[in-house]
Amino acid sequence: MFVNEEPGMETSLYAMKMKTRKQIIVIGGGFAGLKVARCLNNTSYDVLLIDKVNHHQFQPLFYQVATAGLEPSNISFPLRGIFHHSKNVRIRLAEVQKILPAENKIITTDGDYSFDYLILAAGAATNFFGNKNIEQFALPMKSTSDAIEIRQRILKNFEKALTAPPEEVPALLNIVIVGGGPTGVELAGALAEMKKHVLWKDYPEVDFSKMHIMLIEGSPRTLGAMSEVASAKSKQYLEEMGVEVWTKTTLTDYDGHNATLSDGRMVATKNLIWAAGIRGNVIDGLNAELIQRGNRIIVDRFNRVKGYENIFAIGDLAYMVTPKYPNAHPQVANVAINQAKVLCENLKRPAIVVGEGTNNGWSEFEYHDKGSLATVGKHKAVVDLPYIKFQGFFAWFVWMGLHLLLLMGMKNRLFVFINWVTSYFSNNSTLRLIFKRNT
């Protein structure tokens, strides 16, 4: 049952009703977890969705919150609001601390919960690859809160640059982004546009010719998961916008003031954003031998965790090997959403999987890559589809349209659209706000 199992607690009528139905616990309200919960809405299962935050976060637009292009509320949606009319989905705001597979139970900061089926969709966190200094001083961007913190830090440092001694100004203005994937590329492009169109108006006393935006990528090219054409074009766009792109270069250390690079260079910066890697949010309690590269959990073609009959992992957590993907699937939203769909449809079928290695009528997951895309700036984007690749204005238009469609809630879509239209014509936004608690 989904009630806290504390001695002496009275069992409510709701809890008694739930005992008669199969209980599914979904951990995580990201793309995968939310999709499977919505798919199981108003079915014969009782579903409990657990997350550390009370809202779904639209990760592809974190960078626009970080650069004051969108309000945090525009890309977030309350989980409870999604299930207002649900008869079987309930929400708990808690952190899962441990799984007890033998007891079909999980331990959380809100108490213990029992399950018939457990779906792990906790997503991934920032991977600092063991560098404690970078972990301590760099700015990650894996949540809406992280994006707000980046915005606050950068804007505060611009304010400090007004009165700082000349020798300290470069560190306050310089921005270093580590990681040349879509997050790093899109963030670098947005900051370059901010520098060109906005900052010199906000801070006329500051010489922004001394501000450098640097993108550091360890591999030979940006957007390494996309085509060579898209990669080359993204680098060209960034350099035309004034971003310094350093490939085949890694960050070896950062003390909060100076970034040390693998080629020996040192960059003075108090604004270092880490977008270089992720690792799965594995919860204690599963067989440690199942944890693979990137902190991902081995699953079969039904997303069932190896060695467990009733525990599943989907999305960024799942390490599924298939003939098409011998090194597991990419950790992208489309994989997470489609794994959630297939698992949900399997769970809704009357035939239930019994015993590891059996399917009993279930469908195996097969990922069909529909393409990838990234934006760099106004009229600048790259799109790779299975049969066509294109860049420029039309690619930028496609990127905007797709992200509007994927946003949760008509209100959010409307507000984002209005913001984008306003920014398109004005090259400006009114969201460069610094908040602090009164003392």
Tokens describing residue 302: 């039904």
Q: What percent of the chain has pLDDT over 70?
A: 93
58 pLDDT more than 90: yes
240 pLDDT more than 60: yes
CA 58 to CA 83: how far, in whole Å?
18
DSSP 428: -
Cβ atoms of 158 and 203 closer than 8 Å: yes
Please give the pLDDT value at position 408.
87
Strands (E), 241-288: 244-246, 251-254, 258-261, 266-268, 272-274, 278-280
Q: Catalytic: which of 71, 186, 193, 217? A: 186
Span 317-363, pLDDT tens digits:
999 999 999 999 999 999 999 999 999 999 998 655 445 555 668 99
Mark whether 366 is an active-site residue: no
CA 238 to CA 350: how far, in whole Å?
53
Domains of the chain, each with CATH number or no CATH: 13-126+278-348 (3.50.50.60), 132-275 (3.50.50.60)
Mean pLDDT (whole number) for 262-278: 95
Please give the pLDDT value at position 80.
95
Tokens describing residue 149: 């913190």
Cβ atoms of 373 and 383 closer than 8 Å: yes
Question: Where does the pLDDT of residue 435 fall: very low under 50, low under 70, confident under 90, or very high at 90 and above?
Answer: confident
Please give the pLDDT value at position 427.
87
In the block, which residue shows the tokens 């331990």? 107
CA 80 to CA 97: how far, in whole Å?
22
pTM, entire model = 0.90
CA 342 to CA 344: how far, in whole Å?
5
Please give the pLDDT value at position 277.
87
DSSP SS3 for 296: strand
Span 398-409, pLDDT tens digits:
999 999 999 988
Cβ atoms of 181 and 275 closer than 8 Å: yes
Please give the pLDDT value at position 16.
52
Burial of 163 (0-12, 13-18, 19+ CB in 10 A): exposed
Q: Could you write out the DSSP letters of every residue in 163-229?
A: TS-GGGHHHHH-EEEE--SHHHHHHHHHHHHHIIIIIHHH-TTS-GGG--EEEE-SSSSSSTTS-HH
